[in-house]
Structure 1
Amino acid sequence: MISIDKLSKLYAAGRISRRDFMQGATAMGVTIAAASTMAVQAEASTPKTGGTLRVALGHGSTTDSFDPATFENGFANALCYSSGNHLTEINNEGQLQPELAESYTSDDGITWHFKIRKGVEFHNGKTLTPEDVIASINHHRGEESTSGAKGLLKALKGMSVDGDNVVFELEAANADWPFIMSDYHFKILPSKDGVAYFDGGVGTGGYKIDNFEPGVKLEASRFPNYWKEDAAYFDGLVQTSVIDQVARQNALMNGEVDAIDRVNAQTVDLLASVPHVNIIENTGTLHYTFGMRLNVEPFGNYDLRMALKSAIKRQELVDKILNGHGALGNDHPISSANQYTNTDLPQREFDADKAAHHYKKSGHSGPIKIAAANAAFAGAVDAAQLIAASCAEAGITVEVDKVPDDGYWSNVWNNDAYGWSACYWGGRPTEDWMFSAAYVSGSDWNDTAWRGTDASKEFNELVVAARAELDVNKRKAMYYRCQALIHDDGGATIPMFANYINGLNKKIGHKDKMGANWDMDGGKASERWWFN
């Protein structure tokens, strides 16, 4: 006998009429009132087309561009996902699935065959080919490339076309290669004569870009020939950069926008009290960091790094910056949402005596600067001030350098002019991906410049070995050791993991579960949401 849940799904999918649903529900003993409520809920979960989604994002810079190699913040991330697709994607359930690749297979983890989907059209009318895929990936390779994802492709030996397939040959086995292909930098672009181009933000995505003002806004309209039938329900999209937390929240409260990201944990309860607003909160891999660059003095000094790590009150930051909407960090980037988080590693606590001991041993004297702007994350400046205050208790003088929001990701973060600065990392679904993106020596996004130490050398060797290790227990031990090495020797101070908190107008419909690999439903709000 069919269940009431199945009946609701049939009605939501439009396969039975409301009358049939009501008759079926009451036949199961459900009251008319309850059946009516269930029908309304089913209707609300049924995607509808039309309308323009207006989103205010706490990201964006005048240095943003259409070039996927330059994508470095949440605004560019959203631009990417609305206008383009990748070979694979992380769905709203957190599972990897094919996207522009119809399927992917490997017998040994070294040679991977990705069958490219047929009948996919770019916004300029060009049909997707395997050659476009190769050109798109090559855009991030080579000596001249400055792509933030260049480090992820270090193990790629070569690519070739085999019928409808793109064949990837790796230097060594990597079981996570299909995950790597979902990285937002690897947007598939059209190509000509073997060279990918990104003029006008062209892609295969659900929305064609009509207007783009870097650091200001993006306007797009639905691409009528989008290959996905059950996605991109809005007629249009307006994405605005609103870095200021209060202005972003007021825009939602006043009905000027339909959704916002990065809701301030300090004011989320106030926003939740607004009648037309829903608060959506997800726990994932998002973490806030203050990275010390080892190539900038005095942070190359191990004892100085240990002194600063020991002088941070992590619980205070979780309580006062996240208002409890998050969890303690332990100076490594792997969260409890990952498969191999190191549960054996003792939690680092504030220890003024230990901090003072290492600081004296470092031989350093004088103030240490920490750069922060709320463009890094909501409350970054306040967090830096709290760190300065707790360091003072250990006799360490830290001065907060409040830098401009605009241009933060180009001028401050990952820049040798600032040895210690605030950052947010969305995290990655696998340990190898996270380590390869931000910690291996060859990554351009190794924002702590953690290279050259004995620990970093051991770490790099372990990352390579773990990729090819199929024994789960052995792989676990390797990743545990990797986290311990970052925790001890690395330049990353990672005091907290934050929940994604979004504010949505109640007229927005979405699936019960939202993606937590990135903010705003895995970055795919424009593709997955609709207006009820």
Structure 2
Amino acid sequence: MRQISRRGLLKTGAAAGVLAASGVRLQAQTSGGTFRLGIAGANSSDSWDGRTHSDTYMITVGHGAVFDCLTEISASGELVGELAESWEATPDAKTWTFKLRQGVTFHNGKPFNADDVIASLQMHTEEGAQSAAQPIVAPITEMVKVDEHTVQFTLATGNADFPFLLTDYHLLMYPSDDIPGAIANGIGTGLYKVESFEPGVRTLLSRVEGHYKDGKAGWFDSVEVIAINDTSARMTALMTNQVDMVSRVDFQTEPLLRANPNIVIAEVTGNQHYTFPMLVGVEPFGNLAVRQALKHAFNRQEMVDKILQGHGAVANDHPIGPANQYYAADLPQNSYDPDKAKFLLAEAGFDGLSVDLSASSAAFNGGVDAALLVQASAAAAGININVIQEPADGYWSNVWLKKPWCESYYSGRVTEDWMFSLAYESGVPWNESGWENARFQELLLTARAELDTDKRREMYTEMQMLCSTEGGTVIPMYANYVDAHSSKLAHGEIGNVFHLDSSRVIERWWFA
């Protein structure tokens, strides 16, 4: 993933903002047809409220089709404008001025303007709002409507990553005069409007005529997005031509897919990582020695080999991935070491250990098998792991952030501060383990406003080390994004921010 430094962003932010609003390289696109997409990660509780989006299904139909954000990460990794045309900052990166596109309308006919931006962002800091984007919006101390198509943001502290943060898939733009109605009916400014929506089942979309992205994106006439959480059923749907593309290839059936001349595997390396967060406020996970012992009870290479079938790499219990600018590849590795795990537990006064681990295919393909591998490898350290197989439907609302130890995944983020602020900053909604560390928090705030590259590298390296040695989350492996599609589909460069071309497949792909 191409990275733009903070210093470079401050110098070129305005220019970057007027690049093409699509990551697709223009090359012989053809329009027409109905694109049938089979996606995992759907839930019966799904809605058009971007604050609640947390998995592939709603991310793809939300910011990838029905709604727009202010900025976007293109397929090549460039920061480009979506509803914002350009942006510029003061030298301290505390005040940002965004120029908005003119002539944009919502699906209900309302013209898009600065009021919509302010109202849409304020949603995330409303009292009682449970939004994972709260850490992005909360540091904005003032939002000013300069004119109908200009918004000025003042931040509590300088943040040269700010335009990157506005690509977040939670930060959808809604019509300010009726946000509840827009959430109820899926009213956005995106290339596709909602014809029908059955949460956790199916979504039908149709192409918007006269859209501002005409000629750059949006090649299908209509789109049918089918929720297929069951991995086997999803692969079968593609092999039997019930859908044109599926997310999250099942590596056990991958050889069958590759043997089919009508199916193509699409694989990219990004920052996706699989996690096993422990709630540090629940014993025994509050004990550092227990957390460290469990980290040494994971046979990481075995998991990469057997769960990912080699489509990934060993990770080291921190969330910064190989596509990040300041990825610390040289940190001491938390390796599989049953004897060290036993020693740590004994030092803490434990004679063995028994813990529950909630697992599900909803967390990631092979989630239950991964838990069973951990169960087997931990047994050599005298650790008894009771694997609880949780249902896929409702996993993110009933298990994640609630059960003491469970499975999860993150796509990673394009900047280190964004990833750390999303899931490791003290008190944020998606801090999976509830882990807090004073030194980590100090570094987080300092690095955010630091413009010197070498100093930032030192700070982000130390933060990765703190997560690895003291954090409440086991991160055993990085996983490539592996999707599959019909050979009838064509595309440009594939983005690596999320599955399905950074969840922009509906906008970017077409029938050959």
TM-score tier after normalising by the smaller chain length: over 0.9
Superposed, which structure 2 residues align to 1:438-517 within 5 Å?
Answer: 438-451=423-436, 456-511=437-492, 513-517=493-497
Partner residue of 2:499 out of 506, 519, 525: 519
Which deviations, in whole Å up to 9, do the C-alpha atoms of 1:409-467 show, x marking residues without a partner? 1000111xx1111111010000000001100013100011112xxxx111111111101
- Residue in structure 1 matched with residue 96 of structure 2 by the alignment: 112
Query: What is the alpha-carbon distance in structure 2 between the residues aligned to residue 48 and residue 384 of structure 1?
Result: 45
Which deviations, in whole Å up to 9, do the C-alpha atoms of 1:340-374 show, x marking residues without a partner? 01123112111111100112233345520000100
- Residue in structure 1 matched with residue 4 of structure 2 by the alignment: none
Does the 8 A contact of 1:160 with 1:167 survive in 2?
Answer: yes
Q: Which amino acid letter does the alignment assign opposite residue 128 of structure 2? A: E
- Structure 1 SS opposite 2:266: strand
Q: CA deviation at 1:197?
A: 4.3
- Residue in structure 2 matched with residue 233 of structure 1 by the alignment: 219
Work out whether 1:347 is the aligned partner of 2:333.
Answer: yes
Superposed, which structure 2 residues align to 1:288-307 within 5 Å?
Answer: 288-307=274-293
Query: What is the alpha-carbon distance in structure 2 between the residues aligned to residue 362 and residue 136 of structure 1?
Result: 49
Does the 8 A contact of 1:189 with 1:196 survive in 2?
Answer: no
Partner residue of 2:32 out of 45, 50, 66: 50
Question: Which of 227-236 and 314-323 deviates more?
Answer: 227-236
* Count, aligned residues: 483
Segments of 5+ residues of structure 2 without an aligned counterpart are 1-25
Which deviations, in whole Å up to 9, do the C-alpha atoms of 1:246-266 show, x marking residues without a partner? 110111010000000100123
Query: What is the alpha-carbon distance in structure 2 between the residues aligned to residue 166 and residue 333 of structure 1?
Result: 33
Change (3 A) 1:255 1:482: same
Segments of 5+ residues of structure 1 without an aligned counterpart are 1-43
- Residue in structure 2 matched with residue 94 of structure 1 by the alignment: 77
Q: Which amino acid letter does the alignment assign opposite residue 85 of structure 1? A: D
Does the 8 A contact of 2:182 with 2:188 survive in 1?
Answer: no
Q: CA deviation at 1:79?
A: 1.6
TM-score (norm 1): 0.89
Q: CA deviation at 1:184?
A: 0.2
Q: CA deviation at 1:194?
A: 9.0
- Residue in structure 2 matched with residue 72 of structure 1 by the alignment: 54
- Residue in structure 2 matched with residue 390 of structure 1 by the alignment: 377
- Structure 1 SS opposite 2:159: coil
Work out whether 1:244 is the aligned partner of 2:230.
Answer: yes
Query: What is the alpha-carbon distance in structure 1 between the residues aligned to residue 380 and residue 227 of structure 2?
Result: 38
Larger of the two Rg values belongs to structure: 1
Q: CA deviation at 1:192?
A: 1.4
Query: What is the alpha-carbon distance in structure 1 between the residues aligned to residue 180 and residue 87 of structure 2?
Result: 24
Query: What is the alpha-carbon distance in structure 1 between the residues aligned to residue 278 and residue 97 of structure 2?
Result: 40
Query: What is the alpha-carbon distance in structure 1 between the residues aligned to residue 179 and residue 375 of structure 2?
Result: 52
- Structure 2 SS opposite 1:186: coil
Does the 8 A contact of 2:427 with 2:434 survive in 1?
Answer: no
Query: What is the alpha-carbon distance in structure 2 between the residues aligned to residue 240 and residue 363 of structure 1?
Result: 51
Query: What is the alpha-carbon distance in structure 1 between the residues aligned to residue 261 and residue 182 of structure 2?
Result: 45
- Residue in structure 1 matched with residue 155 of structure 2 by the alignment: 170
Percentage identity across aligned positions? 44
- Structure 2 SS opposite 1:516: coil
- Residue in structure 1 matched with residue 18 of structure 2 by the alignment: none
Does the 8 A contact of 2:353 with 2:382 survive in 1?
Answer: no
Work out whether 1:204 is the aligned partner of 2:174.
Answer: no
RMSD over aligned Cα atoms: 1.5
Question: Which of 235-244 and 357-366 deviates more?
Answer: 357-366
Does the 8 A contact of 2:122 with 2:137 survive in 1?
Answer: no
Query: What is the alpha-carbon distance in structure 1 between the residues aligned to residue 45 and residue 354 of structure 2?
Result: 31
Query: What is the alpha-carbon distance in structure 2 between the residues aligned to residue 502 and residue 244 of structure 1?
Result: 15
Q: Which amino acid letter does the alignment assign opposite residue 462 of structure 2? A: R
- Residue in structure 1 matched with residue 173 of structure 2 by the alignment: 188
Change (3 A) 1:193 1:258: closer
- Structure 2 SS opposite 1:198: helix
Q: CA deviation at 1:46?
A: 1.1
Which deviations, in whole Å up to 9, do the C-alpha atoms of 1:38-57 show, x marking residues without a partner? xxxxxx94111111110111
Does the 8 A contact of 1:139 with 1:196 survive in 2?
Answer: no
Query: What is the alpha-carbon distance in structure 2 between the residues aligned to residue 370 and residue 152 of structure 1?
Result: 31
Q: Which amino acid letter does the alignment assign opposite residue 156 of structure 2? A: E
Query: What is the alpha-carbon distance in structure 1 between the residues aligned to residue 461 and residue 108 of structure 2?
Result: 47
Q: CA deviation at 1:177?
A: 0.3
- Residue in structure 2 matched with residue 4 of structure 1 by the alignment: none
- Residue in structure 2 matched with residue 421 of structure 1 by the alignment: 406
